[in-house]
Amino acid sequence: MHELTRHSINGIAFWRDDDLLAQSGITVAFSERTGGVSAPPYESLDLAAHVGDDPAAVEENRTRFLAALGLAGLQPRLTCAEQVHGTGIERVTEGLVGSGRSALAHTRPALAGIDALYTALRDTPLMLFFADCVPVVLVRPSVPAIAVVHAGWRGAIAGIVGDAARSLMALGGGSDLMTFTGAHIGECCYEVSDNLLSQFRSRFATLTPVCGRLDLAAAVAEDLVRAGVPMESQRRLDMCTADNTDRFFSYRAEEALTGRHCAIAAISGASF
């Protein structure tokens, strides 16, 4: 059974599907915010290079996090996207590997204008960054192939998660797509305008009417069902970032100045 299990290694807490890793060599994980070296307001495992944190601290945090996952040797192949709340999806081919891997100088920048990455390359960790937006990892063990998606409200309403699912399905193989949704701002804390709420309700029929609040994960789940991913193939970590700022970064709860946790996926180079 595929479930996310919480681990804590050297103070670094993360959630991972251990069965998937054991069975197919595919890592799917979501980080928390502890165990890093960043100073406030980025304390402490800030993994993002674009939010004003000390680049050396971000580099050290990435090193520690990859080591905790057993992926230490893959840091040179870590691949990241710019994340502009758009709908851009990029397939990571060999020439793009390592984009945005480091906050320090002399490395290729994160892939511009992109909010979702996917690949069938082995030993190529895809990592995106979050503080309230919805992190989604998609996996096709039969290919094998992986995708990581950043879905704020703009991406969610535009259907970026369903589009990423269709991109993975286009790679052939069996009907084995499974998805994992990490911690994000919950309906409990995500107040939006009536106008935005009505836009979402007109697009996503399953959204339950709750006055002034939006359930982004429900919209993402419906988008995935439409793309051909049944609910039983979707896993969700139902934790609200804004209610748990001791464990996650929250853009809204921390008044915009904070770090980023991550979603990461990687296919092991070893044969399974």
Instruction: Note whether 186 binds Zn ion by CB under 5 A.
Output: yes
Interacting residue with Zn ion among 72, 112, 188, 196 (CB under 5 A): 188
Segment interacting with Zn ion, rule: CB under 5 A, options 42-50, 120-128, 136-144, 233-241: 233-241
- Choose the stretch contacting Zn ion; rule: CB under 5 A; options: 21-29, 61-69, 178-186, 262-270: 178-186
Applying CB under 5 A, which part among 46-54, 64-72, 84-92, 236-244 lies near Zn ion? 236-244
| Residue 254 makes contact with Zn ion by CB under 5 A | no
Q: Does 210 bind Zn ion (CB under 5 A)?
A: no
Between 148 and 242, name the residue whose CB sits nearer to Zn ion. Answer: 242
Does position 192 interact with Zn ion (CB under 5 A)? The reply is no
Angle at 135 between CA 150 and CA 174, to 5 degrees: 95
CB 122 within 8 A of CB 268: yes
Q: Tell me which amino acid residue 170 is.
A: A
- Give the side-chain half-sphere CA count within 13 A for 221: 18
Q: Of 123 and 243, which CB lies nearer to Zn ion in the complex structure?
A: 243
243 binds Zn ion (CB under 5 A): yes
189 binds Zn ion (CB under 5 A): yes
* Of the residues 240, 265, 266, 267, which one makes contact with Zn ion according to CB under 5 A: 240
